[in-house]
């Protein structure tokens, strides 16, 4: 915080607005008193210029293409750390000591089972339901099963809810998958690590042994890590807004998952792979690039562009390397979707339209290729994103509740409807 002030002059008024300086990133003009002192609102649909909270968790420099979690760059975390360590870092602010890590891992591992009654809940859904529909429902329903962790005023209950959500999400997501393909639910195994346990719950069946490949488990873990948190994105802001009313953690996280489902956000990985398949062969790429540039065509290159990154999404670089590794391991050397993706990326990056608008591949551009190679259908891509992002949502929720400045979120509006008018009886309406 500094003593600097911005001066706003309009009509016959002059207001002094405090300027706050962050550790990194642009300064922030504090307009909290604007309405009280100036009788005006600011208007910022899509929040392109609005900071809604103070946070110490994640920082993105969109121009540099940099993503930091508690100061640590994502590429270092993706190559040197692992998902549960990143969860600890996001939740508690520092990398854990070996003893802290062991304790945390132990706690998460021992909370992976779901209340048995929840299996009946799954059975109420149609088998052809999108797994995200099931997941949003089941996450919301957790508040009906875990009453002892819904009192947000109790720090211990908040902690238990946090651990439960991180621990149970792989089971919730894997079971949504198993249900959709008509296979029996596979229970979690405490001898496997977080990612391997998830793969086992998704792909093992009672009829035969299934051994999780360490390379695939590592790739899965990296996908979780790359999606763990991303500052005040749409789903995280949804969680914070839901939480601002005092709603319980399970309800808030379910709200975040519902927001994530949209194709402009977490649904983009599914939409991207479907687009790459539809393009099919490299000779069709120019046609699709032309469509993406045509203002009269609603088509957009999925997996391209980002509200904040105006440079390479640093997660996309790691994801691209991972895609090569996984396909190599699986002996898939001439994957047509990967060929289309690489050529589409090359052509788009050379095109002045994408260069001028600073549109680069985002994290979703390559993740679908890896997930498909692992055996996941496209409908599971967004659920896996939701699983990974749960720690980000819950870390931001936790931070919000401990912020003394937090209050119920209540945006205002630029009203352009009718001014006051009297009710007209039906017989008098022309």
Name the one residue in this structure whose structure tokens are 């539809």.
278
Could you tell me which stretch among 32-40, 238-246, 295-303, 371-379 binds ligand ACO (CB under 6 A)?
Answer: 295-303
Nearest approach in angstroms of CB 1 to ligand ACO is 29
The Cα–Cα gap between 328 and 83 comes to 23
Minimum CB–partner distance for residue 294 and ligand ACO (Å)? 9
Q: How many residues bind ligand ACO (CB under 6 A)?
A: 18
Supply the minimum distance, in Å, between the C-beta of residue 395 and ligand ACO.
17
Q: How far is the CB of 98 from ligand ACO (least distance, A)?
A: 32
Torsion of CA 224, 63, 46, 87, to 10 degrees: 20
| 390 binding ligand ACO? (CB under 6 A) | no
Q: Which of residues 397-426 bind ligand ACO (CB under 6 A)?
A: none
Residue 112 as a binder of ligand ACO (CB under 6 A): the answer is no
DSSP string across 61-109:
ETTTTEEEETTEEHHHHHHHS-HHHHHHHHHHSSPPPHHHHHHHHHHHH
- Is residue 300 at the binding interface for ligand ACO, with CB under 6 A as the rule? yes
Residue 20 appears among annotated catalytic residues: no
Among 137, 140, 170, 305, binds ligand ACO (CB under 6 A): 305
268 binds ligand ACO (CB under 6 A): yes
Least separation, in Å, of the C-beta of 26 and ligand ACO?
Answer: 17
CA torsion sign for 353, 355, 358, 359 is positive
For ligand ACO, the binding residues in 358-387 under the rule CB under 6 A are 359, 362-364
Sole binder of ligand ACO in the list 181, 264, 290, 355 (CB under 6 A): 264
Q: Which of 193, 221, 313, 364 is catalytic?
A: 364
Binds ligand ACO by CB under 6 A, chosen from 265, 285, 322, 371: 265
- Binding test (CB under 6 A) with ligand ACO, winner from 164, 218, 306, 398: 306
Within 13 A of 355's CA, how many CA atoms are on the CB side? 6
Which of these, 363, 401, 402, lies nearest to 385 by C-alpha position?
Answer: 363
Give yes or no for a contact between 151 and 157, defined as CB atoms under 8 angstroms apart. yes
357 touches ligand ACO (CB under 6 A): yes
Which residue in the list 82, 130, 306, 313 is annotated as catalytic?
A: 306
Tell me the DSSP string of 245-281.
TT--HHHHHHHHHHHHTSTTTTTHHHHHHHHHHHH-S
Q: Nearest Cα to 311, choosing from 99, 14, 28, 67?
A: 67
- The verdict on whether 364 is a catalytic residue reads yes
How, if at all, do strands 5-10 and 13-20 pair? antiparallel
Give every strand in the sheet of 28-29, ordered side by side.
5-10, 13-20, 28-29
Phi, psi of 366 (to 5 degrees): -105, -15
> How far apart, in whole angstroms, are the C-alpha atoms of residue 425 and residue 250?
46
Q: Least Å distance between CB 91 and ligand ACO?
A: 21
Is 241 an interacting residue with respect to ligand ACO (CB under 6 A)? no
Residues 274-293 within binding reach of ligand ACO (CB under 6 A)? 292
Footprint on this chain of ligand ACO (rule: CB under 6 A) = 264-266, 268, 292, 300-307, 357, 359, 362-364
Catalytic residues: 306, 364
């Amino acid at each position: 915080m500094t003593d600097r002030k911005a001066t706003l002059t309009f009509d016959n008024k002059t207001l002094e607005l405090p300027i706050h300086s962050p550790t990194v990133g642009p300064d922030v003009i504090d307009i909290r008193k604007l309405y009280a002192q100036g009788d005006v609102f600011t208007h910022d649909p899509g929040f392109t210029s609005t900071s809604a909270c103070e946070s110490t968790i994640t920082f993105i420099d969109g121009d540099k293409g940099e993503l930091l979690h508690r100061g640590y760059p994502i590429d270092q975390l993706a190559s040197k750390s692992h998902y549960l360590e990143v969860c600890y870092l996001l939740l508690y602010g520092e990398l854990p000591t070996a003893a802290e890590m062991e304790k945390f891992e132990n706690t998460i591992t021992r909370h992976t089972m779901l209340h048995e009654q929840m299996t009946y809940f799954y059975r109420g859904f149609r088998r052809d339901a999108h797994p995200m529909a099931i997941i949003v429902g089941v996450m919301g329903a957790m508040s009906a099963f875990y009453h002892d962790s819904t009192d947000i005023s109790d720090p211990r209950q908040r902690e238990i809810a946090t651990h439960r959500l991180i621990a149970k999400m792989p089971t919730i997501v894997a079971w949504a998958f198993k249900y959709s393909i008509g296979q029996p639910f596979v229970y979690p195994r405490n001898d496997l690590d977080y990612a391997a346990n998830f793969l086992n719950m998704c792909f093992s069946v009672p009829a035969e042994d299934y051994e999780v490949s360490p390379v695939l488990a590592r790739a899965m873990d990296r996908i979780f890590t790359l999606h763990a948190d991303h500052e005040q994105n749409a789903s995280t802001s949804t969680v914070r807004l839901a939480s601002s009313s005092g709603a319980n953690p399970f309800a808030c996280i379910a709200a975040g998952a519902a927001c994530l489902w949209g194709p402009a956000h977490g649904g983009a990985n599914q939409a991207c792979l479907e687009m790459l398949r539809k393009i099919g062969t490299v000779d069709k790429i120019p046609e699709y690039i032309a469509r993406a540039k045509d203002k009269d065509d609603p088509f957009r290159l999925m997996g391209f562009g980002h509200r904040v990154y105006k440079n390479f999404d640093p997660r996309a670089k790691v994801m691209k390397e991972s895609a090569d590794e996984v396909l190599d391991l699986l002996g898939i050397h001439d994957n047509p979707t990967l060929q289309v993706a690489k050529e589409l990326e090359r052509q788009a990056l050379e095109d002045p339209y994408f260069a001028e608008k600073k549109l680069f591949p985002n994290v979703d551009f390559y993740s679908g290729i890896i997930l498909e190679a692992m055996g996941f259908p496209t409908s599971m891509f967004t659920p896996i994103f939701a699983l990974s992002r749960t720690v980000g949502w819950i870390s931001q929720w936790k931070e919000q509740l401990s912020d003394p400045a937090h209050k119920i979120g209540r945006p205002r509006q630029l009203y352009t409807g009718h001014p006051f008018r009297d009710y007209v009886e039906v017989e008098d309406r022309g």
